[in-house]
């Protein structure tokens, strides 16, 4: 039997917490969130992202906005949301996927209300990126034990 955490309890050091970011196209918000979490947690949190109706490519404005932060998401590709991805995650953060997101008891769910960067240039994406970064920093403090977070 493996150790488990409850939705309100941070993972112990013996278990790496896992987070799934979900938006419709997996081309903007969820890609930026996943990249920030991977980068800022320095690999101490398992990160996934997916879309309920994945696009063909990551939004070029999102790629450019993240490059300004020193994070390269240019090789990322949108992925389809699966039940397995949800089941394998401790925290599921949705960003406008609505009823397309499957629900499994025992998971922590959050819905982040964020503007959709689709069709916007990099100037329009920057504020969305910055809001995501703020939320990711807060998420890290919630998921990792005190004294091990990064800024």
What does the alpha-carbon distance between residue 34 and residue 93 come to, in Å, rounded to a whole number?
10
CA dihedral (23, 125, 75, 144) positive or negative:
negative
What does the alpha-carbon distance between residue 140 and residue 56 come to, in Å, rounded to a whole number?
30
**Alpha helical stretches, state H, 24-121:** 29-40, 60-67, 83-87
Residue numbers annotated as active site: 23, 97, 101
Relative orientation angle of helices 29-40 and 122-143, to the nearest 10 degrees: 50
For residue 16, the 8-state DSSP code is: -
What does the alpha-carbon distance between residue 43 and residue 47 come to, in Å, rounded to a whole number?
9
Rg (Cα) of the chain, in Å, rounded?
15
Which residues are registered as beta bridge partners of 23?
51
């Amino acid at each position: 039997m493996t150790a488990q955490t409850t939705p309100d309890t941070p993972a112990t050091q013996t278990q790496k917490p896992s987070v799934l970011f979900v938006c419709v196209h997996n081309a903007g918000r969820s890609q930026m969130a996943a990249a920030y979490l991977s980068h800022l947690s320095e690999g101490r949190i398992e990160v996934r992202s997916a879309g309920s109706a994945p696009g063909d490519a990551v939004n070029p404005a999102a790629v450019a906005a993240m490059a300004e932060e020193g994070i390269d998401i240019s090789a990322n590709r949108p992925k389809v949301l699966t039940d397995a991805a949800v089941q394998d995650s401790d925290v599921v953060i949705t960003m406008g996927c609505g009823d397309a997101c499957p629900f499994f008891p025992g998971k922590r769910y959050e819905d982040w209300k964020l503007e959709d960067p689709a069709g916007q240039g990099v100037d329009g994406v920057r504020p969305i990126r910055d809001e995501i970064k703020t939320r990711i920093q807060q998420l890290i403090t919630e998921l990792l034990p005190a004294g091990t977070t990064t800024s």
